């Protein structure tokens, strides 16, 4: 088994482009790669998926326990030749910006991943070696096993490569020159999604072609070799393999407006006995038939507000179902969709689902950004006295956020009330990571099973 992480000293060094280029060349050469993303990011796994034509999975040590993360890594690595994980932010940056919890190093340490540090060498030379040495020495085992220089000329690589190897005692596996193809544009929630970049395949092929010329893949694959006992024999099997279920159909919104879905969360719902039925609030006229539950995830409804609002029959179908007690999860973008009105990026207001009596509009900054821990009273998903870890990432806010749960930020302790939680509904900005708390998935499926069929 081979496994590797691509991480960096800071954001903006090209981790996603390097990771996707590596996945492309590894697949092209028959090494059968699979992909993972450190942290809660939805968009980078879309890029991984566009390369491999299969799902990428998130591994988050704030939203899930170490044992659960190990289980998911082993489950989704099984049968593949190399597991490639993309890091997050700066290598040691974790919860609150002042801890290593849930950062790239924490994941590498938990899974014993060899790390290739992606470094942009602009504006420094010997100091780069000092920075790398600092990263190596910051924790007892940094797991840093190599360096790849990104946005680096051939001449500079010939100077820096031997110097870094001498000063840091680790190999420099190669470099990538400046490439316009590797520059992915961003907007308010990060990179544009993979599906929005029309020439993405040709751009990734160009990066892979360059990697083939200027990166020592044999050296990199040697670093990735591991003798991991956990990969021998059977790994985690789903509950559905161990127990017979009568599946309950749960409708899941999935289209350009609602695209923020964790594949491992969908699998957790399936493990709990759900049959997932995907539908598009943008293009279809009504909810699927014979469903016991509804899941509307996050995404970009604000970018499609006019089209969503024009689909009156779907809005009526959703409103009627939710108000009649169909067990429903609506998080972040799904929460926006249930409002009376949703403002688009230009400030125009559009009628929406009419379940949440309020208006959601764009703010000039990220709102309640990051991880938090929530608790609330008894409801479809939550139980009095229990706490759950979630994350938020949105520029839109509501004048009707609800007060059903109490959220507390780690480190700072800042707190607030938000969301709606009843016997049949969870609706709020916090993204739930059901894969990290399988009991929440089980409660949702059980509510769908008991709630009758629409």
What is the model's pLDDT at position 123? 87
Q: What is the pLDDT of residue 72?
A: 97
What's the pLDDT at 238? 47
Strands of 51-183, DSSP E: 57-59, 82-86, 115-119, 144-150, 172-176
Q: Which helix (H) or strand (E) holds 356?
A: strand 356-362
Distance CA 176, CA 37 (A): 21
Residue 76: pLDDT over 50: yes
pLDDT reading at 38 higher than 50? yes
Strands 425-428 and 328-331: parallel
Distance CA 172, CA 437 (A): 40
Backbone angles phi, psi at 179, to 5 degrees: -140, 120
Who contacts 392 (Cβ-Cβ below 8 Å, separation ≥6)?
332, 367, 368, 369, 370, 372, 429, 430, 431
Q: Residue 29: its pLDDT value, please?
A: 97
332 is catalytic: yes
pLDDT digits (tens, 9 = 90+) for 313-331: 999 999 999 999 999 999 9
* 64 — pLDDT class (breaks 50, 70, 90): very high
Lowest mean pLDDT among 92-96, 140-144, 187-191: 187-191
**More confidently predicted of 360 and 181:** 360
Mean pLDDT of the chain, nearest integer: 92
Give the list of residues 6+ apart from residue 238 with CB closer than 8 angstroms, or none: 267, 270, 271
All domains in the chain, ordered by first residue? 2-231 (3.40.50.300), 241-450 (3.40.50.880)
Q: How confident is the model at residue 291 (pLDDT cuts 50, 70, 90)?
A: very high
Q: Which of 37-41, 312-316, 361-365, 436-440 has the lowest mean pLDDT?
A: 361-365
Taking residues 198-210, report their average pLDDT: 87
Average pLDDT over residues 370-395: 95
Give the whole-angstrom CA distance, residue 351 versus residue 254: 20
Residue 201: CB atoms within 10 A of its CB come to 13
Least confident range of 59-68, 170-179, 191-200? 191-200
- Residues 363-379 have pLDDT tens digits of 988 888 899 999 999 99
pLDDT at 428 over 60: yes
Residue 190 has a pLDDT of 47
Query: For residue 274, how far is the Cα from the chain centroid?
Result: 22
**What pLDDT digit, counting tens, does each position of 176-199 carry?**
999 876 565 554 444 456 556 667
Q: Is the pLDDT of residue 419 over 60?
A: yes
Catalytic residue among 20, 38, 152, 332: 332
| pLDDT at 454 (0 to 100) | 46
pLDDT in tens, 259-278: 999 999 999 999 999 999 99
Judged by average pLDDT, the poorest of 38-52, 79-93, 319-333, 433-447 is 38-52
Q: How far is CA 353 from CA 2, 85, 322, 334, 339, in A?
A: 48, 38, 10, 10, 6
Banded pLDDT at 203 (limits 50, 70, 90):
confident
Q: What is the pLDDT of residue 451?
A: 75
Instruction: Please tell me the distance from the alpha carbon of residue 93 to that of residue 9, in angstroms, as a whole number.
Output: 9
> What's the whole-number mean pLDDT along residues 339-356?
97
Backbone phi, psi, residue 172, to 5°: -100, 110
Confidence of residue 122 (pLDDT cuts 50, 70, 90): confident
Say whether pLDDT at 385 is over 90. Answer: yes
């Amino acid at each position: 088994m081979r496994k590797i992480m691509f991480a960096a000293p800071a954001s903006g060094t090209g981790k996603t482009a390097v990771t996707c280029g590596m996945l492309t060349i590894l697949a092209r050469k028959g090494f059968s790669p699979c992909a993972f993303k450190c942290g809660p990011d939805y968009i980078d796994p879309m890029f991984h998926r566009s390369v491999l034509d299969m799902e990428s999975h998130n591994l988050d040590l704030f939203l899930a326990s170490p044992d659960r993360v190990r289980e998911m890594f082993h489950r989704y690595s099984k049968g593949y030749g190399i597991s490639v994980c993309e890091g997050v932010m700066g290598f040691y940056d974790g919860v609150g910006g002042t801890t290593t919890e849930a950062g790239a190093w924490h994941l590498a340490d938990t899974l014993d991943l060899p790390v290739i540090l992606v470094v942009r060498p602009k504006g420094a030379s010997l100091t780069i070696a000092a920075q790398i040495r600092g990263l190596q020495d910051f924790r007892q085992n940094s797991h840093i096993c190599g360096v790849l220089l990104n946005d680096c000329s051939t001449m500079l690589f010939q100077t820096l490569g031997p110097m870094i190897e001498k000063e840091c005692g680790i190999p420099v596996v190669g470099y990538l020159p400046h490439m316009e193809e590797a520059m992915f544009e961003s907007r308010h929630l990060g990179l544009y999604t993979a599906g929005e970049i029309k020439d993405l395949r040709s751009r990734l092929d160009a990066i892979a072609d360059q990697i083939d010329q200027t990166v020592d893949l044999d050296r990199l694959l040697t670093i990735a070799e591991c003798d991991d006992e956990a990969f021998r024999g059977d790994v985690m099997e789903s509950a559905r393999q161990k127990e017979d279920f009568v599946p309950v159909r749960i409708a899941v919104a999935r289209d350009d407006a609602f695209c923020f879905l964790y594949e491992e969360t969908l699998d957790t719902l399936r493990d709990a006995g759900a049959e997932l039925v995907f539908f598009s609030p943008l293009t279809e006229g009504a909810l699927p038939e014979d469903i016991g539950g509804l899941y509307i995830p996050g995404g970009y409804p604000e970018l499609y507000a006019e089209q969503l609002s024009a689909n009156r029959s779907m809005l009526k179908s959703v409103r009627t179902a939710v108000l009649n007690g169909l067990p429903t999860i609506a998080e972040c973008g799904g929460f926006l969709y249930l409002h009376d009105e949703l403002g688009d990026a230009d400030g125009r207001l559009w009628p929406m689902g009419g379940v949440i009596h309020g208006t959601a509009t764009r703010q000039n900054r990220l709102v309640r950004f990051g991880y938090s821990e929530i608790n609330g009273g008894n409801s479809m998903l939550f139980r009095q006295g229990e706490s759950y870890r979630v994350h938020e990432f949105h520029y839109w806010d509501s004048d009707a956020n609800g007060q059903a749960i109490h959220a507390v930020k780690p480190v700072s302790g800042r707190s607030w009330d938000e969301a709606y939680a009843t016997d049949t509904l969870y609706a709020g900005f916090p993204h739930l990571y059901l894969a990290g708390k399988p009991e929440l998935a089980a409660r949702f499926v059980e509510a769908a099973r008991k709630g009758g069929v629409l």
